[in-house]
Amino acid sequence: MSARVRFLDTRPLRESRAFRDLWIGSAASQLGGQAATVAVLAQVWELTGSPVGTGAIGLATGVPMVVCGLLGGALADSVDRRAVVRATTAGQLLAALGLCGQALAGNHSVVLLLALVATGAAFSALGAPARRTLPVRLLPSGQVAAGLALTSVSFQAAMLAGPAMAGLLIARWGFPAAYAAQAAAAALSMLAVIRLPAMRPEGTEAAKGGGPVEWGRRRAQRGGWRVVLRRPTLWGSLATDLSATLLAMPIALFPLVNEVRFGGDPRTLGLFLSAVAVGGITAGLVSGTVTRRRRGGLVQLVAAGTWGVALAGFGLTGQLWAALACLAVAGAADTVAVITRGALIQLETPDAYRGRVSSVEHVIGVAGPELGNFRGGLLASATSASFALVLGGLSAALVIAAVAAANAPLRSYRIRPAGLPTR
């Protein structure tokens, strides 16, 4: 393998104008979303001074994400996906303008603030399944993983830059400036998706002719879960993701680890989060090493197992440099797993089902980390942070190993060579 392919594969940006537009819009939306997350957290804390208030933010975002994510999957398989992305992006823009307006008006109602947060989360979730299906329609099969790697890099970069940008804006001009930045990013995202080509689900028009195709269409209407459960590559990939997040998600334990081992310095707590993001960005920047490999299933399994082992190491170490190194490895492994899993799921799902299968992936991606953080917090409160991290990390690695042992199609899965049509 040449040195060139070891780095980020930028062919999707160079060769597909439509994907480039999508990537620019998504990157802008992610950056604005991260800035708004910090602003909402700070404003709710200012209004309530209570961890219950800040905890309610998770409820305001989580419930719409799950409910509307499932609805968005059915919507993405029924109408033009470009239209869904356009409409939901417009909704996010309106919600961002609402947040900016309430801050300018000096709002003191937490209920209003959380209602606007929930509205933005609902539009985001409605559009997420349709948005997830776009790269596989815009790119040849051999570039889908590279496209997802580029998206992952932009997300990790937003995680680093967005909170810092929000802090500077809030300190200089207050909450309205941070929300205005989100609105500007949403407007840029809207301009980007306007130019996308029409993308109706494949087979919907042909299905009107009746016969076997019509029977297939009726079966497609029953939902994406049947497709997931009947395809070992799909259920194995989603089970791997759920195992990694449900059993080993560490974020809720960061404050306790910081307090017990490193004196509770808030700068150290920030380093924990930054280390994960730095690992993810690094993996993304050298993702050409994995996006050009055809053994996507095996790469995904190894990366997910590495995530668990690295977090167990984080639970054992008492040295700050070693703790940050373990978190960076975990972040890198997570990025590799996300890229390979996302490509496999999109390539292995027939287009008529992609919206609903993407909604299943979206719900697992939302619920798994939240439940995993809750599980880790409960276990740590009954034992210790170290025990919860080590048990969770090793349990995740063992369950993923069991999935690998039981799922030969996933272990042996190979991405089709570039140039072959997707389903």
Residue 421 belongs to a domain: no
pLDDT at site 97 = 97
CATH number at residue 319: 1.20.1250.20
191 and 220 in one domain? no
Task: Give 337-384 pLDDT, tens digit per residue.
Answer: 988 888 888 888 888 888 888 888 878 887 788 778 778 877 887 888
Structure tokens at 351: 């287009």
pTM: 0.70
Residue 1 belongs to a domain: no
Is 271 or 109 the better-scoring residue by pLDDT?
A: 109
Residue 422 belongs to a domain: no
Average pLDDT over residues 156-180: 85
pLDDT at site 213 = 35
Residue 248 belongs to a domain: yes
Domain housing 405: 210-415
27 and 175 in one domain? yes
Give me the half-sphere count of Cα atoms (radius 13 Å) on the Cβ side of residue 280: 25
In contact, 392 and 113? CB cutoff 8 Å:
no
Alpha-carbon distance of 244 to 264, in angstroms, equals 27
277 and 129 in one domain? no
232 and 157 in one domain? no
Alpha-carbon distance of 2 to 387, in angstroms, equals 43
Is 254 or 127 the better-scoring residue by pLDDT?
A: 127
Average pLDDT over residues 238-243: 93
317 and 285 in one domain? yes
Question: How many domains does the chain contain in total?
Answer: 2
249 and 220 in one domain? yes
Residue 26 belongs to a domain: yes
Residue 7 belongs to a domain: no
408 and 307 in one domain? yes
Residue 147 belongs to a domain: yes
294 and 374 in one domain? yes
Give the confidence band of 147 by pLDDT, cuts at 50, 70, 90.
confident
pLDDT at site 270 = 66
Please write down the long-range contacts of 9-15, taking CB distance under 8 Å and 24 or more positions apart: 9/143, 9/146, 9/149, 9/150, 9/287, 9/288, 9/291, 9/292, 10/146, 10/150, 11/143, 11/146, 12/135, 12/138, 12/139, 12/143, 12/146, 12/147, 12/150, 13/150, 15/143
Percent of the chain with pLDDT over 70: 87
pLDDT at site 5 = 45
Is 146 or 397 the better-scoring residue by pLDDT?
A: 397
Q: Which of 200, 218, 247 marks a domain boundary? A: 200
Residue 423 belongs to a domain: no
pLDDT at site 212 = 35
**Does pLDDT of 324 surpass 80?**
yes
Q: Which of 172, 200, 228 marks a domain boundary? A: 200
Q: Which of 181, 200, 219 marks a domain boundary? A: 200
**Does pLDDT of 217 surpass 80?**
no
224 and 190 in one domain? no
pLDDT at site 52 = 64
**Does pLDDT of 279 surpass 50?**
yes
315 and 185 in one domain? no
pLDDT at site 397 = 96
219 and 117 in one domain? no
169 and 281 in one domain? no
